Amino acid sequence: MPSVLSRSDAADPDPPRFIDMAADLASFHSCLRSSSRILALVGAGLSASSGLPTFRGAGGLWRNHDAMDLATPDAFASDPSLVWQFYSARRAAALQARPNKAHYALAELARCNSQFLTLTQNVDGLSVRANHPLDQLLHLHGSLFDLKCTSFYCDHSESNNTTHPLTPALANPESHAYIPSADLPHCPQCRTGLLRPGVVWFGEPLPYDVIRAADAFFDQGKVDLILVIGTSGSVYPAASYVDRVRAQNGKVAIFNIDVDDLDSDEESLVGLPDSERMKWVFKGDAAEWVPKALEPIIGKIDLPEESS
């Protein structure tokens, strides 16, 4: 399945950066100034420079398990001990991490433009901790800090539970020991149901209210621009939002450290007058390039002092 980011383009992925990046930035700035309705689709690469592993490449393996194999209802049903150790380790890492400048830049753009909406595939909670206005932030795949009961007869769910560890048995992230279900997180309401992380697992539908809110944004008018930040665009339906913007002749700006494997005809784009240009590609760390790209609207972004 070709990723949404590749479209019958073939070019030398490695043009002389200096000139292009500066020229690209100026040309993108004029596009940004003339765009009123803006979307951002973000992925694990947004949080990479906050120290959190991505899904592809080395970060995609946890104890030799492919992260995507553990993020399924079947994995949880067959080995809740392993899956809870996986999610407990990710909760710990996310709690340790701090939002980076790109998280803050998107939050500031939301405050500057009421018609800006961030669609995050990330479950790490860093956009929330960067004070991104919550009514302009949709968690497509849930959150590590939401929990819900797995019992069919119980509808208990809770959000923003940052307790760590959730049970003493999950205290030691290095322990590979099997944890009996009795020592795994249980539902405080029905007392018998096993709790699970409030994330969307593969094969599960995205939250209905989230899908509806994203559709409502499209129904309210043309999306002029989508920022595609730190995502491989390999998971659906999240990746399809880029197609939807393209389908209505919206413009696309890609922020990715690994542009090389995303074939893009940068050369042929650079020469085009800005008004005709449909795509920008910023190769590099999102934490560096997103703030630069959004500067005309949000000004300079500084990280807040580390709170003690």
219 SS3 class: helix
Binder among 32, 45, 50, 118 for ligand BV8 (CB under 6 A): 45
Q: Which residues are CB-neighbours of 158 under 8 A, at least 6 positions away?
A: 146, 147, 148
Can residue 200 be called a binding residue for ligand BV8 (CB under 6 A)?
Answer: yes
43 binds, among Zn ion, ligand BV8, none (CB under 5 to 8 A by kind): ligand BV8
233 is in an annotated binding site: no
Measured from the CB of residue 125, what is the shortest distance to ligand BV8 in angstroms? 12
The reply to whether 149 sits near Zn ion by the rule CB under 5 A is: yes
Shortest Cβ 262–ligand BV8 spacing (Å): 7
- What is the sign of the dihedral through the CA atoms of 63, 69, 72 and 78? negative
Retrieve residue 86's tokens: 């996986």
Rg for the chain, CA atoms, rounded: 20
10 binds ligand BV8 (CB under 6 A): no
Residue 150 interacts with Zn ion (CB under 5 A): yes or no: no
Cβ closer to Zn ion: 150 or 240? Answer: 150
Pick what 156 binds: ligand BV8, Zn ion, none; C-beta below 5 to 8 Å, kind-dependent: Zn ion
Contact (Cβ atoms closer than 8 angstroms) between residue 138 and residue 163: no
- Is 58 assigned a ligand-binding role in the annotation? yes
256 binds, among Zn ion, ligand BV8, none (CB under 5 to 8 A by kind): ligand BV8
Query: Which residues is 282 bridged to in the sheet?
Result: 255
Q: What is the DSSP letter of 2?
A: -
280, 285, 293, 301: residue in contact with ligand BV8 (rule CB under 6 A): 285
Integer angstrom CA distances of residue 225 from 28, 37, 228, 279: 11, 7, 10, 9
Residue 214 or 235 with smaller CB distance to ligand BV8: 235
Reduce the DSSP state of residue 155 to 3 states and report it: coil
* 83, 86, 89, 91: CA torsion to nearest 10: -70
Which partner in Zn ion, ligand BV8, none is near 257 (CB below 5 to 8 A by kind)?
ligand BV8
Q: Which is nearer to ligand BV8, 103 or 141 (CB)?
A: 141
Decide whether 274 or 288 has the Cβ nearer to ligand BV8: 288
Residue by residue, DSSP assigns 248-307 as TT-EEEEEETTGGGS---HHHHHTS-GGG--EEEEES-HHHHHHHHHHHHH----PPPPP
Q: Is 56 a residue that touches ligand BV8 (CB under 6 A)?
A: yes
Positions in 68-97 near Zn ion (CB under 5 A): none
First to last CA, the chain: 46
Rounded CA gap, 54 and 231, in Å? 9
d(CA 179, CA 175): 10
187 binds, among ligand BV8, Zn ion, none (CB under 5 to 8 A by kind): Zn ion
> Which residues are annotated as catalytic?
141
61 counts as binding Zn ion under rule CB under 5 A: no
Answer for which of 30, 36, 49, 115 binds ligand BV8 (CB under 6 A) is 49
- Interface residue list for ligand BV8 (CB under 6 A): 1, 43-45, 48-49, 54-56, 71, 121, 123, 141, 199-205, 230-232, 234-236, 238, 255-258, 285-286
Binding-site annotation, residues for Zn(2+) = 149, 154, 187, 190
- Interface residue list for Zn ion (CB under 5 A): 149, 151, 154, 156, 187, 189-190, 193
